[in-house]
Amino acid sequence: MNHDTLYLIKPHFVEQGKTYYCPDCAEMTGLREYYPALKQHIDVRWVDFARPRPELVALLGEDNQSCPVLVLSAMPPGLPARLKVKSANGHAFVTGAREIGEYLAHVRGIGLPH
């Protein structure tokens, strides 16, 4: 079974002497806990906050290294036009916590973000 891959920024990173976490990445981590069945379909890769993010640059190009990003194993049929699925280097992907949540609601049957 092919899995989608969710790229998230590692928590507890330091920038300009302060420690941070990415709120959108934390939302995605929580979504996987709300809906544990998602773990059967989505692999998670943690990347450093600092750019460039080599793994994402190699996969999607320098312009598409923002997180969170869900890289799709295959493009599902019948997606509503409102879903913002992008493509680069032959890979389909969805960026942003809310957009990923809407995609997963359609494809995996979870609740929609409110």
Is residue 44 within 8 Å of 70, Cβ to Cβ?
A: no
pLDDT score, position 9: 98
pLDDT tens readout for residues 96-107: 999 999 999 999
Is residue 98 within 8 Å of 70, Cβ to Cβ?
A: no
pLDDT score, position 1: 58
pLDDT tens readout for residues 16-56: 999 999 999 999 999 999 999 999 999 999 999 999 999 99
- Mean pLDDT (the chain, rounded): 96
Q: What is the pTM of this model?
A: 0.95
The amino acid present at 103, given as its one-letter code, is: Y
Please state the rounded mean pLDDT for residues 51-79.
96
